A = this chain, B = another copy of it.
Amino acid sequence: MKGEVRVVTSNEHKFAELKDLSGHKVRLVRIDSPKLEIQADSLEEIVRYSAVTFFSLFRFPLIVEDSGLFIEALNGFPGPYTNYVKRTLDNEGILKLMNGIENRRAIFRSVIGYIDVERLELFKGEINGHIGDKAEGDKGFGFDPIFIPNGYNISFAQMDLKEKNLISHRSQAFREFLRFYEKI
C-alpha cells in the first residue's frame, strides 16, 4: 500500500469528508479539478470518463468522486446534474417540484473511481431516505438540507461531519476504496 492518494476535485466539502475518513490509513492530497465532466445519466460513466481523462493528464494514481441525489417520483432527477440544479433551482425548486407528491423516496449515490497505470476500479455507496417538507440545517453542502436518511428525523445538513460520515453514500464508497487500497 502506498502512502498518498491524490483526489481530483474542485469541491472542498467533498474533500473534507474524505479527509475525515482517511485517518492515518492514507494521506489525501487535493488536486484542483479541470472542468471535464461528461453529460451522462449514470455516475459510473461520468467517473470512468473523468478518471481516464485526468489520468492521461496528470499521470499519477488518483481518485475522482461523483455523486447525485436521485428522486424516485421525479424519474431520478436531479441525478448526475445535482450541482447545476443546486445552483439554479436550489432546495426550494426541488421542494416545489415535490409539492403534493406523496412518494418522497430518494437515494443519494456516490461513485469513486481509482485509477493507476495498471487498473481502473469503481467503488459505490448509496443511502436511502426521503425528501423533507422543508430545508433544514446549515451543515454539509448541496441538497443535504432536504435529504432525511431512513431511520433519522433530521437532515444531512443537521448532522456533524462525523455523524454524516457514519452513514453517507460517499463514506460507504470511500470505505470500499480503502479496503481495496490497503491490499494493492
Q: Are B36 and A38 in contact (CB under 8 A)?
A: yes
Does residue A81 face the partner (Cβ distance < 8 Å to B)? yes
Q: How far is the CB of A88 from chain B (nearest CB, A)?
A: 4
Q: How many copies does the complex hold?
A: 2
With a cutoff of 8 Å between Cβ atoms, the chain B residues found around residue A39 in the complex are 35, 37-39, 81, 83-84
Return A3 CB to nearest CB of chain B, in Å. Answer: 33
Contacts of A93 in B (CB 8 A): 74, 77, 97
Interface size class of A (residues with CB under 8 A): 20 to 34
Contact code string A68-95 (vs B, CB < 8 Å = 1, else 0): 0000001111110101110111000100
Q: How far is the CA of A85 from the CA of B93 in the complex (A)?
A: 13
The distance from the CB of A178 to the nearest CB of chain B, in whole angstroms, is 28
